[in-house]
Amino acid sequence: MDVLQAISNRRSHRAYRAEQIPEETLSAILRAALESPSARNRQPWHFSVVQDAELIQEVHDEAAKVMGRGGSPRFADPDFQMFYHAPTVIFLFGEKDNSWTQVDCGIAVGNIALAAEGLGVGSVILGLPKPAFEGSRAEELRKKLQCPEGHDFVIAIALGTATDTKEPHETRQEKISRIG
């Protein structure tokens, strides 16, 4: 699939099959992550690939606890799971002392999402896990997810075979200014 088609086709999926994506496909997605550009080629990220449903659920439970059930209306639904039961979640941890970490990790998660789409894998980019890394179990979860020293959670992306379909979102041409 060409890159413009992948951009046009990509959706945020919120339902997945339970089976893991093939290892060869995951390796290609991770290669795309590592090939992401970064400021001064510092590569301030660490990608923790989690395919353990219990650990994924632990992160969900801790974030829900920290946020409280009223922190997001979605948590009022007892069937809500922030990773949508995707079989694979990649947590991006970034260097704390780099002012470009947020941008660079955003670029990397974009590469992951587009590579996944190009390979027929559904995804959803998630900031919602952040409270899990601010609560009483934050250090324990960082350790379980092999977050390197000097890094912290930036963003996550859930991956799997999507079982939902979505229409493309509306584009807003007024969001573009052309100067000169």
Quote the pLDDT of residue 17. 97
The sign of the CA dihedral 25, 27, 32, 36 is: positive
Which segments within 85-173 are labelled E, that is strand? Answer: 88-95, 122-126, 151-160
Q: What percent of the chain has pLDDT over 70?
A: 98
| Residue 79 belongs to some domain of the structure | yes
Q: Tell me what pLDDT residue 70 has.
A: 56
Where would I find the beta strands (DSSP E) of the chain?
A: 45-50, 88-95, 122-126, 151-160
Within a domain: residue 66?
yes
Instruction: Tell me the average pLDDT across 7-32.
Output: 96
Provide the pLDDT for residue 69.
Answer: 54
Residue 180 lies in a domain: no
CATH of the domain at 77: 3.40.109.10
Average pLDDT of span 100-125: 98
43 domain-assigned: yes
Q: DSSP label at 12?
A: B
Q: Is the pLDDT of residue 4 over 70?
A: yes
Q: How confident is the model at residue 71 (pLDDT cuts 50, 70, 90)?
A: low
Per-residue pLDDT tens over the stretch 159-173: 999 999 988 889 999
Share of the chain above pLDDT 90, in %: 85
Say what the pLDDT of residue 68 is. 77
Number of domains in the chain: 1
DSSP state of 88: E
Q: What would the mean pLDDT of 50-63 be, rounded to a whole number?
A: 96
Of 54-58, 75-79, 135-139, 167-171, where does mean pLDDT reach its minimum?
A: 75-79
Q: Residue 60 belongs to what domain range?
A: 3-175
